[in-house]
A and B are shown apart, each in its own frame.
Chain A
Amino acid sequence: ETGVTQTPRHLVMGMTNKKSLKCEQHLGHNAMYWYKQSAKKPLELMFVYNFKEQTENNSVPSRFSPECPNSSHLFLHLHTLQPEDSALYLCASSARDTPGYTFGSGTRLTVV
């Protein structure tokens, strides 16, 4: 148990589906992040939330829609995705004034 829980672990969805990824942290952290990891590429930062407020959107297409209802929960809503969006989506959290993130186990997304 890492303290950051992501569900589901695996997701297969069609290009017209709507689905959501969930992330929950039990560490008392104030910042939460969504990262995308594609094969042979660096971790790509997608969104950053600090105290529930979105502080960064890294030019992510609108078919990805984040939601952060409180400091412990983060969602990524998915709509009309494309096959190239297939990747491992990682959630992370961090504490204020402390470098380093705690990552969840990720959601392996396959778009068919």
Chain B
Amino acid sequence: DQQVKQNSPSLSVQEGRISILNCDYTNSMFDYFLWYKKYPAEGPTFLISISSIKDKNEDGRFTVFLNKSAKHLSLHIVPSQPGDSAVYFCAATSNDYKLSFGAGTTVTVRA
């Protein structure tokens, strides 16, 4: 049973515009959420995270929004750059710190 879902397998966006990636979860015990970025032939690297006590966390061009009532989070990248082309994984954890991952969204930034 997949507890973290990324329903959009891919996203194409023009350079300079906003990329919005969505993630839904089913486990109400999740209290910490992370986004990872992965280039081909490399391991995922941590991008940004948010605790359930917050509804927004911003780091440069990246902002994560959390809507606990809807069990939904999103990652905004603005402005999008060619180097942002990668696979983005949403992950969630509860107090055991074991991560559950979504299937990933492939982002392509067009010049």
On A, residues with C-beta under 8 Å from B are 2, 4, 6, 9, 31, 40-43, 45, 48, 56, 90, 92, 94, 97-106, 108
Task: Provide the main secondary structure of the chain B interface.
Answer: loop
Q: Is the CB of A94 within 8 A of B97?
A: yes
Give residues 5-29 of B contacting A (CB, 8 Å): 9
List, sorted by A's number, 6 A–B pairs whose CB atoms are closer than 8 Å: A42-B4, A56-B98, A99-B34, A99-B49, A101-B46, A105-B42
Q: Smallest distance from the beta carbon of A56 to chain B beta carbons, Å?
A: 8
Q: Is the CB of B97 within 8 A of A99?
A: yes
Chain A residue at minimal CB-CB distance from B106: A40
Q: Is the CB of A102 within 8 A of B46?
A: yes
Q: Is the CB of A40 within 8 A of B44?
A: no
Q: Is the CB of A106 within 8 A of B102?
A: no
Interface assignment of B83: CB less than 8 Å from any CB of chain A = no
Chain A residue at minimal CB-CB distance from B87: A37
Q: Give bound CA distance, A28 to B103, whole Å.
A: 29
Q: Is the CB of A101 within 8 A of B103?
A: no
Interface centre among A42, A45, A105, A106 (most CB of B within 10 A): A42
Interface centre among B34, B43, B102 (most CB of A within 10 A): B43
Q: Is the CB of A2 within 8 A of B104?
A: no
Q: Is the CB of B103 within 8 A of A103?
A: no
Q: Is the CB of A101 within 8 A of B2?
A: no
Q: Give bound CA distance, A14 to B25, whole Å.
A: 39
Interface assignment of B53: CB less than 8 Å from any CB of chain A = no
Q: Is the CB of B89 within 8 A of A43?
A: yes
Q: Smallest distance from the beta carbon of A100 to chain B beta carbons, Å?
A: 6
Interface centre among B36, B42, B102 (most CB of A within 10 A): B42
Chain B residue at minimal CB-CB distance from A41: B103
Q: Give bound CA distance, A2 to B39, whole Å.
A: 14
Contact partner of A2 among B43, B101, B103, CB < 8 A? B43
Q: Is the CB of A103 within 8 A of B43?
A: yes
Q: Smallest distance from the beta carbon of B37 to chain A beta carbons, Å?
A: 11
Interface centre among B41, B49, B99, B104 (most CB of A within 10 A): B99
Q: Give bound CA distance, A56 to B34, whole Å.
A: 22
Q: Give bound CA distance, A100 to B98, whole Å.
A: 8
